[in-house]
Amino acid sequence: MHIGLTVTLILCCALSLYSFGKRRRRSGYLLNKKVGFSHIDKKMAAERKVADGNEIPKVLEGHKYPAKAHNLKVKEHLLTRNQKWPAKSTAIFIAGEELEGVKYCDISKEFRQNRYFYYLSGVNLPGCAILFNFSTEKLTLFLPNVDWDDVIWSGMPISLEEAAKEFDVDEVHYTDKLEEIFGRELEGFTVLTTDLDNVHSQEISQILTPSEEDLFHALDESRLIKDWYEIETIRKACEISDNSHLAVMRALPIELSEIQIQAEFSYHATRQGARALGYDPICCSGPACGTLHYVKNSEKLAGKSSVLIDAGAEWRNYTSDVTRCFPISGKFTREHREIYETVRDMQNQVMKKIKPGAHWESLHILSHKILIRNLLKLGIFKKRFSEEEILQRRASCAFYPHGLGHLMGLDVHDVGGKPNYEDPDPYFRYLRLRRPLQENMVVTNEPGCYFNEFLINEFLNKYPERAEVVDSEVLKKYMYIGGVRIEDDILVTRDGCQNLNKITSDPDEIERIVSEGLSKAASQFHIVI
């Protein structure tokens, strides 16, 4: 009996250890089965799914970009906003972006579609226009006239029939029909537009009413709340970024400089079908991590301990915006880890409070309070000052001068946030979202903590009441880190939130990922040089 019990116990322990191991492997930093980066061996490499560059999420298959619904939403907002725009005689018209040549040269600038136009059409082609008649609710797309010279070089453009099938519009015409259709369908109408930049017909320009504040309001309020199609599109952009950040973390043997961090990210994003990144990536190392929108991306990593990469892939014009930090050696230094845990604490505590009705300003202040609490523990803030006192003096803005986060969608800093860049309070001047959260908003949760000479001079040393609360001797020990920011893209749900990013921010897992990468030789990576 006694021996039997012991044997049973040993068996139980062995079994639970075994299943614990299995669980760990399954729930570890593997993002999902598709990625499968862990413990690469030949078998796994053979099994690994390879991105095909054209894949679309299953849920989006067979669905068009919901342009018609977007126009109806804008109409609704405009009608509610102002009686001046009666449905029976109002229309909106927007001419999209055009290909723009580079001066003294035979190439074009990178094409980036006008986001308002895209929102109302779902069309990513240059030289188009969209017209929505509030009275008939007819949505008409205008394609550029066929330029036969251009066909020689670029091939045939999309036909009227193809466009009618592909886009969620009622009619498609070439732009040479503009005057005729305006004359026939918009007699006595007010036709609102954002601007006249790409309107080339004198006749049409005279009919249009540009720059009405009400139109911008209606467009921005509509874009503020994402529909399911937009959410799934953003989710895809986030997935691409997750994979690309993971690639960066595990490729240090071939990342000798910041530009190669950028290269690794961009390469992996492009492979997965991201035609562009949502913004210029910020790739920094060492003290440069303290520069909020670092643009150099050129320094060597040698001799430094920290990396900060803020990069987001764009998919079908919707972006993601993700920041991760990691130690170059595979092991956080003590100070780096302390600051990392501080920022993670800020992000986690905010995450718990994100839900409809929560005010972004309060969450921003909450993140400052948690920063202060942590910096008090580390001795950077002198212990004889209270959390409240330090907050009142605005001392933490020297280490965290930016906002907690912003709206995200077609633009990385999306419209509708109602920021006030003139706000005299340094805690709020750079906060890009100044309104309560609503269901189906997408926001970034991106607290940070930086050690930057310029910020310390600007926000601390110029204010004796703030400088007084900081122990400059302790502070010195942290300067080499530069800074830490952790950024995820968050969907506000009915009763809380959902993190659209899956890439880990757990410091232990990050150490494992980086170390595993470091254990490989450069020749094991897919590079020719």
Number of other CB atoms surrounding residue 352 within 10 Å: 11
Least gap, CB of 432 to Mn ion (angstroms): 9
Whole-angstrom distance, CA of residue 502 vs CA of residue 280? 22
386: number of Cβ within 10 Å: 13
Residues 102-161 that bind Mn ion (CB under 5 A): none
Q: Which of 291, 444, 452, 505 binds Mn ion (CB under 5 A)?
A: 444
Minimum CB distance to Mn ion smaller for 367 or for 444: 444
Find the part of the chain contacting Mn ion (CB under 5 A) among 215-223, 229-237, 318-326, 382-390.
318-326
CB of 453 to Mn ion, least distance (A): 23
Give the interface segment with Mn ion, choosing from 135-143, 274-282, 314-322, 351-359 (CB under 5 A).
314-322
Q: Which is nearer to Mn ion, 264 or 321 (CB)?
A: 321
Q: What is the DSSP letter of 322?
A: E
Which residue lies nearer to Mn ion by CB, 230 or 321? Answer: 321
Q: Which range binds Mn ion by CB under 5 A, 118-126, 293-301, 321-329, 477-485?
A: 321-329
Q: What is the largest CA-CA distance in the chain?
A: 99
Phi, psi of 422 (to 5 degrees): -100, -5
Nearer to Mn ion, 288 or 322 (CB): 322
Q: Binding of Mn ion at residue 97 (CB under 5 A)? A: no
Stretch that binds Mn ion, among 135-143, 231-239, 316-324, 495-503 (CB under 5 A): 316-324
Q: How far is the CB of 417 from Mn ion (least distance, A)?
A: 12
* Count of residues in contact with Mn ion, rule CB under 5 A: 2
In a 10 Å sphere around its CB, with 0-12 CB exposed, 13-18 middle and 19+ buried, how is residue 163 labelled? buried
Beta carbon of residue 15, minimum distance to Mn ion (angstroms, whole number):
46
Nearer to Mn ion by Cβ, of 132 and 400: the residue is: 400
Shortest distance, CB of residue 322 to Mn ion, whole angstroms? 8
Residue 321 or residue 511: which is nearer to Mn ion going by CB? 321
Which window, 36-44, 320-328, 425-433, 499-507, contacts Mn ion (CB under 5 A)?
320-328
Q: Could you give the CA distance from residue 40 to residue 46 in angstroms, rounded to a whole number?
A: 10
SS (H, E, C) 204-250: HHHHEEECCHHHHHHHHHHHHCCCHHHHHHHHHHHHHHHHHHHHHHC
Work out the angle between the directed axes of helices 258-271 and 228-249 (0-180°, nearest 10): 140
Q: Nearest to Mn ion by Cβ — which residue?
A: 321
Q: Name the minimum Å distance from CB 497 to Mn ion.
A: 16
- Return the number of the residue (166 or 361) whose C-beta is nearest Mn ion: 361
Q: Over the Cα atoms of the chain, what is R_g?
A: 27
CB 255 within 8 A of CB 276: no
> Least distance to Mn ion from the beta carbon of 513, Å?
22
DSSP E strands: which ranges in 3-137?
A: 90-95, 129-133
476, 427 Cβ separation under 8 angstroms = no
Work out which of 230, 255, 321, 338 binds Mn ion, going by CB under 5 A: 321
Mask of contacts with Mn ion, 26-65, x by CB under 5 A? ----------------------------------------
Query: Where does this chain touch Mn ion (CB under 5 A) — which range of 75-83, 258-266, 315-323, 393-401?
Result: 315-323
Cβ atoms within 10 Å of 165's Cβ, excluding its own: 11
Measured at the CA of 57, the angle between CA 55 and CA 63, to 5 degrees, comes to 105
3-state helix, strand, coil in the chain (%, to 5): 45, 15, 40
Question: Closer to Mn ion at the Cβ: 71 or 367?
Answer: 367
> Please, what is the minimum distance in Å from the beta carbon of residue 355 to Mn ion?
20
Nearest to 493 by CA among 438, 433, 436: 438
Letters for 347-386 (x = contact with Mn ion by CB under 5 A, - = none) are ----------------------------------------
Closest approach, Cβ 312 to Mn ion, in A, equals: 8
Count Cα atoms within 13 angstroms, Cβ side, for 155: 1
- Whole-angstrom Cα distance, residue 101 to residue 109? 6
Q: How far is the CB of 446 from Mn ion (least distance, A)?
A: 5
Q: Is the dihedral of CA 70, 71, 72, 74 positive or negative?
A: positive
Which spans of this chain sit near Mn ion (rule: CB under 5 A)?
A: 321, 444
